[in-house]
Amino acid sequence: MGELLDRAEWHLTGGLRAERNRLAAPLSTSDGEVELEFPVRSLAVGEVLEVGRELMYVWRADPDLPQPVAEVERGFRGSPVESHFEAATVRRNPRAPRHVLWDSMLRELRELSGTGLLGFEATTKALSGDESVVTLEPEGNHAVLGVYDVRPVSGKEARIGWRVIRKPDPDEHGSGAVVRVWGAEGKSVRIIYTRGFSEFTSESDDVQAVCGVPDYAEEVLEVGAARRVPPGVMGELLQRDTARGPRDAQEMQAGGFFRQQVDGLYRRAVSDALAAQAAAFPPGKAP
């Protein structure tokens, strides 16, 4: 369980986690630990590589530099560094198709919603006058911290996007994360966060990653409910990906397609978890 959640978190937290472990190394040489012997000019941003028993993702490729460089991520909590050696096999695609990997992750996230360990609570913060920021303070054993701009959306609404709030101390249990902040008429914001992390084992301390939903998620999640807003760019990309096979390098680089696909599928899993909570706990009743 912890492995799958960590896997998704690495894709969704935008590099905030130190363990992301990106590598920036000339591809024509070996750093003694990871052999990177494949033509840098053949790489595309968003591409999946397989080195030995581990998957790697290309985040940046600069083929026109005097010494071509690419930035890749060792992901999926794959094999340890020791497994990489000079004769490591490099493939351009993982052994398992991406949809198989995502399905495995989604199944595990859905199972979490039935354990009773994931709960969603909400609180409302009033804004005075033309106040445009909201400060979140620790609340009970929840570590919900941060100062956020509240950006007007229309005359009647103000909102900010999805955010992931890290635990301030890796050894502190019971921490939470902001899922959504939503305000009406610019007077208040509704904050939804998670609780119950202290019931997980140390292996799964990073389970707050289930709150990591990108800014362009299509669901507006509220306590006791999950409702859909009109599909946007994310839905179109997912639909297009289902309809056809691999994309060319230009499209992948322009759209960051690989990451967007992961975000969209992950967002669906979070929506399913909230829907399960809504069925178990009617509106107005905290889980």
- Full pLDDT tens readout for the chain, 287 residues: 344 444 444 444 333 333 333 344 333 333 333 444 445 555 665 565 655 445 565 656 666 666 555 555 554 333 333 333 333 344 443 333 444 444 544 454 445 444 443 334 445 666 655 555 555 554 444 434 444 444 443 333 333 333 333 333 333 333 334 434 444 444 555 554 443 333 222 233 333 333 322 222 222 222 222 222 223 333 343 344 334 344 444 433 433 444 444 445 445 555 555 555 556 555 554 43
pLDDT at residue 287 in the model: 38
Tell me the pairing of strands 90-91 and 151-152. unpaired
pLDDT at 274: 54
What is residue 189's predicted lDDT score, i.e. its pLDDT? 55
pLDDT at residue 190 in the model:
52
pLDDT value at residue 97: 40
Give this prediction's pTM: 0.23
Can you give the pLDDT at residue 120? 41
The pLDDT score that the predictor gives to residue 67 is 56
* pLDDT confidence of residue 215: 27
